[in-house]
Amino acid sequence: MSFSEQNDRPAAPAILVGVDLGLPHFDAELEELGLLSQTAGLEPVARVVCKRKAPDAALFIGKGKADEIKQLADATGAAEILFDQALSPAQQRNLERHLDRPVNDRTLLILEIFAQRARSHEGKLQVELARLRYVSTRLVRRWSHLERQAGGAGVRGGPGEKQIELDRRMISEAIKRTRERLEKVKRQRQTQRRRRERQGAFNISLVGYTNAGKSTLFNALVKAGAYAADQLFATLDTTTRQLYLGEAGRSVSLSDTVGFIRDLPHGLVDAFQATLQEAVDADLLLHVVDAANPNHPEQLAEVQRVLHEIGAAEVPQVLVFNKVDLLDPSLRPRFETDRFELEGVQVPRVFVSGRTGLGLDALRRLLAQEVSRRSGPVAAAAQADSGSDAEGNDSAA
Ligand SMILES: Nc1nc2c(ncn2[C@@H]2O[C@H](COP(=O)(O)OP(=O)(O)OP(=O)(O)O)[C@@H](O)[C@H]2O)c(=O)[nH]1
Ligand SMILES: [Mg+2]
């Protein structure tokens, strides 16, 4: 799999491996890993699940299991093996030798998807920083991309371990350079935000698990053309548009942004600080939940966890249970809105379908109420003349 040319080639066959270590989040169907691998341009051809008390230090799985996977890989022509659990650098290396093909884990897969998806200058810098950090913890076997243009190539190949010291220095220099460039972008973003604040804008941010339907909802609310797709991490860059709320007699700024996922690589959370800051600084969060996904309670909890981690746990929320059109009619809610207890706080909840438009009027009414309740008359007056000035951050240079 390559970072940049994935669309030009047929999907490479891959085997998915999940190791049940008795942890609560174990996904026996490897469904999310399958979606991640498809998003990254791979085609899952087989799934292997096994149980262990603890990971094997050298191979993560037992040798017998590894032999079994090797046979399966040879039989199916799999080009790559993907683990749902995080591998240590040594385990990854040993497995690659044993299985005779690239072995990757969920973290790297997420990094690769982010690298493929990043479009804006800021997004690319953030991904590059996260990837450099990942590479710097991995004994630097794969670093040749550093010589090429930032944001371009994969982390495969490389001239060997003699160069480790040199590699280390190159990586830490590259990290430093990337961070400086990101700082500059951050300052520009702050200036934009301060301008919105001066205009008395009320800022609403869409947050939620990846694929929950944030961009679809964003488009339905503001009639914009944000990219929505049945892929994980379709959106990486923040887009902001004005949304007029008739009931409140004013407009607000609505931002669509990156989705969250279980075990989001830590380096990514760090690197995406500037993008995630949008949520921290919001006056209100629209927390979008895919109500049709059987795992939505875990996904909601994961989003809450990330919100705590980035310091956005105190921002008031409205819960939007989306995709109700997919629910069995007998399971559809009988009310448009109710209250939901979230970490001991009663928050308003609304049931919608971003696709069919069901419940969107109720959502607009609810937003108008929240905005009127949470913003003073001064802000509302200052807002009156800001009209429909649209602001996209897609091309921050
Ligand atoms: N049936 C149905 N599908 C929906 C609804 N809302 C979104 N979808 C679909 O769900 C998929 C994901 O939608 P997006 O809007 O891209 O989701 P997102 O939360 O922005 O995802 P990321 O940007 O990847 O984090 C797309 O295939 C949408 O068409 C809905 O209300 N009903
Ligand atoms: Mg999106």
Give per-residue pLDDT as tens, 140-191.
444 444 443 333 334 444 444 455 666 778 888 888 998 898 888 878 877 8
Q: Which of 36, 201, 184 is nearest to 106 (CA)?
A: 36
The rounded Cα 258 to chain-centroid distance in angstroms is 5
- Cα distance between residue 132 and residue 146, in whole Å: 9
Task: Give the atom of ligand 1 at the shortest distance from the alpha carbon of 211.
Answer: 21
CA 286, 287, 292, 293 dihedral sign is positive
Among 113, 119, 205, 215, say which to mutate for ligand 1: greatest number of ligand atoms within 8 Å of CB.
Answer: 215
Q: How far, in Å, is the centroid of ligand 2 from the Cα of 234? A: 5
Domain ranges in the chain are 6-108, 118-182, 199-392
- Cα distance between residue 80 and residue 101, in whole Å: 6
Which pLDDT belongs to residue 195? 77
290 contacts 297 by C-beta, under 8 angstroms: no
Q: Which of 379, 329, 358, 395 is nearest to 197 (CA)?
A: 379
Q: How far, in Å, is the centroid of ligand 1 from the Cα of 35? A: 14
Task: Give the atom of ligand 1 at the shortest distance from the alpha carbon of 326.
Answer: 1
Phi, psi of 162 (to 5 degrees): -60, -30
141 contacts 161 by C-beta, under 8 angstroms: yes
**Mode of pairing for the β-strands spanning 80-83 and 12-20:** parallel
Which pLDDT belongs to residue 60? 96
Per CATH, is 6-108 categorized as 3.40.50.11060?
Answer: yes
Rounded-to-10 torsion of CA 201, 242, 244, 387:
80
Q: Tell me if 6-108 shares its fold with 199-392.
A: yes
Give per-residue pLDDT as tens, 365-380.
999 999 999 886 544 4
Which pLDDT belongs to residue 8? 58
Secondary structure element (H or E) that encloses residue 285, with its range: strand 284-290
Which pLDDT belongs to residue 395? 35
Which pLDDT belongs to residue 163? 55
Orientation angle between helical segments 273-280 and 164-198, nearest 10 degrees:
30
**Mode of pairing for the β-strands spanning 239-245 and 250-256:** antiparallel
Q: How far, in Å, is the centroid of ligand 2 from the Cα of 252? A: 20
What separation, in Å, do the N-terminal and C-terminal C-alpha atoms of the chain show?
29
pLDDT one digit per residue (tens) for the chain, 397 residues: 433 344 556 789 999 999 999 988 788 899 999 999 998 899 999 999 999 999 999 999 999 999 999 999 999 999 999 999 999 888 998 999 999 999 999 988 888 888 887 877 887 888 888 888 887 776 544 444 444 333 333 444 444 445 566 677 888 888 899 889 888 887 887 787 777 777 778 999 999 999 999 999 999 998 866 777 777 777 777 788 889 998 899 889 899 988 888 877 777 777 777 678 888 889 999 999 999 999 999 999 999 998 998 899 999 999 999 999 999 989 888 899 999 999 999 999 999 999 999 999 999 999 999 999 988 654 444 444 444 444 444 333 2
CA 363, 369, 372, 373 dihedral sign is negative
Which pLDDT belongs to residue 9? 63
269 contacts 309 by C-beta, under 8 angstroms: yes
Report the predicted TM-score, pTM, of the whole model to 2 decimal places.
0.79
Per CATH, is 199-392 categorized as 3.40.50.300?
Answer: yes
